[in-house]
């Protein structure tokens, strides 16, 4: 999903690494051979639900691995190490260095925010450790290198989806933009929406900006109200979107809000309340979709965590299972190379070869039946998947339509 800062931190961090997958040190911290995966996310901070949902999705995948295969891939026990990046790109770089150098992980899951994925991706690329982002949608994430993957669609598609929906499904001609200028996710998504909406015959009648963490949006929305738009596209995070919706209602703005997957959180409606009714946003799944795999996941998730998952949890669950599936394929087809994934072989040529083979198998993912849709990775390691548009009605997120690539 999201990108707020440059690659500089991550690029500088590569210098901290010696050659070889899994860090320069050899030997397992636990003293036994394991397949260790790392996961990093914002367990605390302003958008903490992103990291918390990711963690829960990975935990459910681990629980099922334990139930179905004794917690093993091949003949190796699987262990997950989770780190909190506090919602900060610089912390993402730090914790991923720790995961690789100290915990000697052979694969990494994360992040949701593209800014944090971009801070960590160069570290994984430099160390030769596959990294699978569940839900970073900015195109630049996988451009870092051939060890970097994602389970979600990308922003050029997401922006086009919402532009097409606005023009075709809602028959809108005039839309305003309110974007977060500190977030390249927001800026980029606004750009893609604008280009596609204009191509469909629409016009952008006003543009305004805010910065993440702002609390007062009355000035921007007063300017937008004067342009009399038929809708306002707000490609930001749920934290600000809820406040924007409340302020718009207070100002008497009746135009619906439109957005992207940065809205996806169980806190969105808690923050925005009934001011969000009539809003629409693009997402990775809808909980009221009757698809059996998804409904089975929803049932298992609710049994474990006593709550419904958001799409971010589903994407993390898919990311973990794709890694497990590919590691199992490596074991089944080349057990000698598979043994190199063991934490006890960190820093060795065997580990480097095993990580490279795991990377190759992840890149070949095709028609994987995930809970967020059928996943096929393209040549740029991006998932080609449909998007759903959710409508907020009566304080609930309701499926509206599906738009295919």
Rounded average pLDDT per 10-residue block, the chain, 405 residues: 43 39 50 92 95 98 98 97 96 98 97 94 98 95 97 95 97 98 90 97 98 95 98 96 98 98 94 97 93 95 96 97 98 98 94 98 96 95 94 95 88
75 closest CA partner among 325, 343, 339? 339
Whole-number Å distance between alpha carbons of 276 and 172 = 19
Whole-number Å distance between alpha carbons of 336 and 327 = 12
The confidence score (pLDDT) of residue 184 equals 78
What is the total residue count of the chain?
405
Peptide bond into 111 cis (omega under 30): yes
The confidence score (pLDDT) of residue 183 equals 87
Helix %, strand %, coil % of the chain (to 5):
45, 20, 35
DSSP 77: E
Residue 111 parent element (H or E): none
Note the pTM of the prediction, 2 decimals: 0.88
The confidence score (pLDDT) of residue 16 equals 38
**In the block, which residue shows the tokens 């169980």?**
266
Give the distance from CA 226 to its chain's centroid: 35
All domains of the chain, ordered by start, with CATH?
A: 8-153+293-375 (3.40.50.2300), 155-283 (3.40.50.2300)
pLDDT, tens digit (0-9, with 9 covering 90-100), for 207-250:
999 999 999 999 999 999 999 999 999 999 999 999 999 999 99
352 closest CA partner among 148, 109, 127, 146? 127
CB atoms within 10 A of CB 11: 18
388 closest CA partner among 117, 102, 201, 152? 152
Give the list of residues 6+ apart from residue 31 with CB closer than 8 angstroms, or none: none
Cα distances (angstroms) measured from residue 355 to each of 108, 131, 237, 330: 11, 11, 34, 10
The confidence score (pLDDT) of residue 70 equals 97
Spatial contact of 58 and 83, defined as CB atoms under 8 Å apart: no
């Amino acid at each position: 999903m999201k990108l707020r800062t440059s690659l500089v931190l991550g690029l500088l961090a590569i210098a901290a690494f010696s050659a070889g997958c899994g860090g320069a040190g050899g030997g397992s911290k636990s003293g036994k051979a394991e397949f260790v995966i790392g996961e990093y996310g914002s367990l605390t901070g302003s958008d903490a639900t992103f990291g918390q949902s990711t963690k829960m999705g990975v935990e459910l995948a681990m629980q099922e691995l334990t139930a179905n295969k004794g917690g093993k891939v091949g003949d190796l026990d699987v262990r997950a190490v989770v780190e909190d990046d506090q919602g900060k790109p610089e912390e993402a770089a730090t914790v991923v260095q720790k995961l690789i150098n100290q915990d000697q992980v052979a694969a990494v899951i994360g992040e949701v925010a593209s800014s944090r994925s971009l801070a960590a991706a160069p570290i994984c690329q430099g160390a030769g450790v596959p990294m699978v982002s569940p839900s970073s949608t900015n195109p630049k994430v996988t451009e870092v290198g051939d060890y970097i993957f994602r389970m979600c669609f990308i922003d050029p598609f997401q922006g086009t989806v919402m532009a097409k929906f606005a023009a075709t499904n809602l028959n809108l001609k005039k839309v305003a933009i309110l974007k977060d200028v500190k977030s390249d996710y927001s800026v980029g998504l606004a750009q893609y929406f604008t280009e596609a909406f204009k191509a469909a015959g629409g016009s952008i009648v006003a543009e305004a900006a805010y910065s993440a963490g702002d609390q007062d949006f009355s000035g921007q929305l007063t300017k937008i109200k004067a342009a009399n738009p038929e809708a306002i596209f707000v490609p930001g995070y749920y934290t600000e979107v809820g406040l924007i919706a409340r302020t718009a209602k207070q100002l008497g703005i009746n135009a619906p809000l439109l957005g992207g997957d940065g809205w996806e959180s169980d806190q969105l409606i808690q923050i925005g309340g009934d001011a969000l009714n009539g809003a629409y946003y693009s997402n990775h799944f809808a909980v009221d979709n009757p698809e059996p795999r998804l409904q089975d996941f929803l049932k298992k998730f609710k049994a474990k965590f006593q709550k419904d998952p958001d799409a971010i949890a589903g994407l993390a669950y898919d990311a973990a299972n794709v890694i497990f599936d590919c590691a199992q394929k490596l074991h089944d087809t080349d057990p000698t190379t598979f043994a190199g994934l063991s934490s006890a072989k960190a820093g060795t040529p065997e580990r480097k070869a095993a990580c490279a083979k795991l990377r190759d198998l992840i890149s070949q993912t095709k028609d994987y039946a995930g809970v967020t849709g059928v996943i096929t990775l393209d040549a740029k390691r991006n998932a080609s998947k449909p998007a759903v548009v959710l409508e907020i009605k009566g304080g609930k997120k309701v499926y509206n339509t599906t738009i295919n690539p």
